[in-house]
């Protein structure tokens, strides 16, 4: 995936770090503060500052004051930057082809394994919070026990199955820590639902 992303970045006239920033911001229309970008990409604040400045000079990114904090700025890609971000984010075509070769059951198992791995890394402080269903305030694990789609998304008010779970959802709103803990416990113990908060 990294090799394909880097090739796509080179074709767009940006380096891999710049491509990663554009791909990240393209999925977050409200933008992010530089320190949030640094945390998501696990790089230093100084490195992100250099990358954002370079993207701004190229006309691929703009920074504006954060309405919530006058001392901070929000970075957002320009229209051209979003186009590059979408191309870079979609560059994992070889991976998509390989995943398509897996059976539906293998795909579901892989997704659940990824979710658990991400959760473990988050709890260890190795990676920032990801916008996964299981950590979202709209997620209701095992709300429909025994159904083919046992979970429920309150945002869209619909039942969802294991294969519908997202690792990065644009509508994600982090649940309170106690709710997240209860959701994880219920998610890992099928058949045990969490009452709506």
How do the domains of the chain map onto residue ranges? Answer: 2-89, 103-188
Residues 6+ apart with CB under 8 A from 26: 77, 81, 82, 85, 86, 89
Domain 2-89 bears CATH identifier 3.30.360.10? no
pLDDT > 70 fraction of the chain, expressed in percent and rounded: 88
Q: Per-residue b/e over 74-101, b at no fewer than 16 CB within 10 Å?
A: bbbbbeebbebbebbbebbeeeeeeeee
Output the pLDDT for position 77. Answer: 95
Residue 135 and residue 175 in contact, taking contact as beta carbons nearer than 8 Å: yes
Tens digit of pLDDT for each residue in 13-58?
888 888 889 988 988 888 999 988 888 877 888 889 999 999 999 9
Task: Considering only residues 124 and 97, tell me which one the structure prediction assigns the higher pLDDT.
Answer: 124
Positive or negative, the Cα torsion across 29, 27, 53, 43?
positive
Output the pLDDT for position 195. Answer: 47
Tens digit of pLDDT for each residue in 101-130?
989 889 888 988 999 998 888 888 887 778
């Amino acid at each position: 995936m990294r090799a394909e992303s880097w090739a796509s970045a080179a074709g767009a006239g940006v380096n891999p770090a710049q491509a990663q920033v554009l791909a990240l911001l393209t999925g977050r229309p409200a933008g992010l503060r530089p320190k949030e970008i640094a945390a998501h990409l696990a790089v230093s604040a100084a490195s992100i500052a250099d990358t954002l400045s370079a993207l701004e000079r190229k006309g691929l990114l703009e920074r504006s004051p954060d309405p919530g904090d006058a001392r901070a700025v929000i970075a957002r890609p320009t229209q051209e930057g979003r186009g590059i971000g979408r191309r870079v984010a979609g560059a994992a075509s070889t991976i998509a082809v390989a995943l398509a070769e897996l059976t539906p059951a293998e795909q579901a198992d892989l997704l659940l394994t990824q979710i658990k791995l991400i959760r473990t890394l988050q709890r260890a402080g190795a990676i920032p919070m990801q916008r996964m269903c299981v950590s979202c305030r709209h997620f209701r694990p095992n709300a429909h026990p025994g159904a083919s789609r046992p979970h429920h998304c309150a945002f869209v008010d619909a039942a969802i199955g294991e294969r519908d779970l997202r690792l990065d959802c644009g509508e994600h709103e982090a649940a309170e820590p106690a709710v997240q803990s209860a959701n994880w416990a219920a998610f890992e113990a099928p058949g045990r639902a969490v009452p709506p908060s």
